[in-house]
């Protein structure tokens, strides 16, 4: 038995793409202030006092605002192009005048980019994104004590009906709890979905769809001394090592959340990704990592200090990775 989870994808800090039967929408903001926009141009702003249940909601239509925003961006782009053309013409004219007079021209100091603040923000967001994909494992859902839940205590009242059957090892209850609690909802930004299955109450088998081509950027951003934005491709080794850290970090997080939610002792996780098959010219979905993680072993890990790729060596694992070529297909471990 398996379940698919495709509910929300974080595009960057504070902004999520929400997927539902009603269609996709964007949401952004912080605790107490949240805004969302769907593809019909309908917007909603929610202002509330965290922890009180008191909130105010205002609906708006943002299609015109989006159109105006695009026009503004195009206007700024055209303006920048005009400045660049003027900047190229001025040095040439100044040089010709100096030559005609037989005088030497002083070397002008490089002009500070008028978009410095915006470029700094873009680089900061890029660096946050890179750090985020390497640090997925550092956060985890809170541990659920099913004995406490059974007594009706604690904050997880919605799980009370499942407590007795979960403690009895009822597998159907496991899947109902997963659907109710959504342990992987906030991980969807790191993959297209998760599938969970088991026929053993002490064990979960989870398939994690990596989608590295969509999650890991191909280019990196930096600033020149004068504030100009520089975008250039990662080297092969930089890119593949980032993919490796991202995959390992997410695998550890999946294991942590699984053990926090259910009384299982082992989790078998398969990471799958798409790679080009040079024999057919098509993209094939392959298993790139298969790892068996035991609860007791995972509990000894210091997640704040560990290197996620190195950490997986603590467990039974099938993985073939090279810095210059990335992951190669591997066989899946058996339960």
Per residue in 223-267, pLDDT (tens digit) is 988 888 999 999 999 999 999 999 999 999 999 999 999 999 999
The boundaries of the domain holding residue 79 are: 63-108
Number of domains composing the chain = 2
Judge whether 42 lies within some domain: no
When pLDDT is averaged across residues 41-65 and rounded to a whole number, the result is 47
Give the residue among 248, 245, 293, 241 at the shortest CA–CA distance from 267. Answer: 293
Residue 24 above 80 pLDDT?
Answer: no
Do residue 104 and residue 191 come from a single domain? no
- Whole-model pTM: value is 0.67
Do residue 86 and residue 193 come from a single domain? no
Do residue 223 and residue 81 come from a single domain? no
Highest-scoring range by mean pLDDT, 8-17, 177-186, 240-249: 240-249
Do residue 224 and residue 79 come from a single domain? no
Do residue 129 and residue 266 come from a single domain? yes
Do residue 85 and residue 127 come from a single domain? no
Give the strands of the sheet with 203-209, arranged side by side: 193-197, 203-209, 266-277, 282-294, 316-322, 326-328
Judge whether 84 lies within some domain: yes
Of 86, 108, 130, which one is at a domain's C-terminal end?
Answer: 108
Do residue 229 and residue 92 come from a single domain? no
Do residue 193 and residue 292 come from a single domain? yes
Judge whether 4 lies within some domain: no
Q: How far is residue 112's CA from residue 140's CA, in Å, rounded to a whole number?
A: 43
Give the residue among 292, 296, 321, 300 at the shortest CA–CA distance from 309. Answer: 321
Do residue 233 and residue 99 come from a single domain? no
Do residue 251 and residue 293 come from a single domain? yes
Judge whether 6 lies within some domain: no
């Amino acid at each position: 038995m398996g379940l698919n989870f495709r509910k929300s994808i974080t595009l960057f800090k504070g902004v999520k793409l929400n997927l539902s039967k009603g269609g996709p929408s964007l949401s952004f903001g912080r605790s107490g202030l949240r805004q969302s926009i769907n593809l019909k141009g309908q917007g909603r702003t929610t202002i509330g006092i965290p922890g009180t249940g008191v909130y105010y909601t205002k609906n708006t239509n943002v299609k015109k605002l989006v159109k105006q925003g695009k026009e503004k961006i195009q206007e700024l782009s055209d303006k920048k192009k005009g400045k660049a053309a003027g900047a190229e013409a001025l040095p040439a004219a100044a040089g010709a005048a100096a030559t005609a007079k037989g005088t030497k021209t002083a070397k002008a100091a490089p002009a500070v980019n008028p978009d410095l603040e915006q470029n700094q923000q873009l680089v900061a967001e890029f660096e946050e994104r890179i750090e985020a994909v390497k640090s997925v494992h550092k956060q985890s859902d809170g541990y659920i004590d099913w004995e406490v839940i059974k007594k009706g205590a604690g904050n997880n009242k919605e799980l009370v009906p499942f407590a007795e059957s979960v403690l009895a090892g009822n597998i159907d209850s496991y899947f109902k709890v997963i659907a109710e609690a959504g342990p992987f909802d906030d991980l969807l930004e790191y993959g297209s979905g998760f599938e969970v299955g088991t026929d053993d109450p002490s064990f979960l088998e989870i398939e994690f769809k990596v989608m590295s081509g969509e999650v890991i950027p191909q280019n990196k951003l930096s600033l020149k001394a004068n504030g100009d934005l520089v975008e250039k491709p990662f080297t092969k080794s930089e890119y593949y090592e980032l993919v490796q850290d991202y995959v390992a970090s997410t695998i550890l997080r999946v294991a942590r959340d699984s053990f926090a939610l259910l009384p299982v002792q082992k989790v078998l996780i398969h990471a799958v990704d798409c790679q080009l098959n040079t024999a057919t010219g098509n993209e094939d979905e392959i298993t790139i990592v298969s790892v068996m993680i035991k609860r007791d072993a995972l509990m000894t890990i210091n997640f704040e200090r560990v290197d996620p790729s190195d950490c997986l060596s603590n467990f039974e694992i099938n993985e073939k990775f090279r810095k210059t070529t990335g992951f190669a297909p591997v066989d899946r471990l058996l339960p």
